[in-house]
Amino acid sequence: MRFNLSKHEAENLLATIWIALEKHGIASPKMKILPRDAELEIELLFDSRRDENLVRAELSQAMVRPEFVHGSFARRQSRARAMLRAAGT
C-alpha cells in the first residue's frame, strides 16, 4: 500500500491505520517513509494480503463516513497521533 501525502494528511492516515490494526489485531506493517518535496511517500508492507485488505476497508469507511470526524473515532485518532509522535514518527 503506497501513499503520497502532505505531512498533516500522512499523520491522519497513519493514525487511522493504527486504529484499524488494533481493531483487527493485525501486526504492524513494515514502513518506508521518504520525503518528496512538500509531501511524504509512505509505503506499508503487510504480512498478508488479508491484513492489507482489512486495513484498506477501514480506510475506505473512514473516508466515506462523516461521523468519523467527531466522537470516539476522533479521540482514538488523536491518541494514535500522539503515540506516533512519541515514537518519533
Q: What is the pLDDT of residues 4-13, one digit of tens each?
A: 888 888 888 8
- Stretch (H or E) spanning 67: none
Mean confidence (pLDDT) of the chain: 78
Q: How many C-beta neighbours within 10 Å does residue 45 have?
A: 11
Q: Strands 30-36 and 2-6, how do they pair?
A: unpaired
d(CA 60, CA 65): 9
Cα-based distances in Å from 27 to 17, 51, 61: 11, 8, 20
With 70 as the cut, is the pLDDT of residue 67 above it?
Answer: no
Q: What is the pLDDT of residues 36-63, one digit of tens each?
A: 888 889 899 999 999 999 998 888 776 6
Query: Could you tell me which CATH class the domain 2-86 is placed in?
Result: alpha beta
pTM of model > 0.95: no
d(CA 77, CA 19): 7
Candidates 70, 54, 71, 60; CA nearest to 20 is: 54
With 90 as the cut, is the pLDDT of residue 29 above it?
Answer: yes
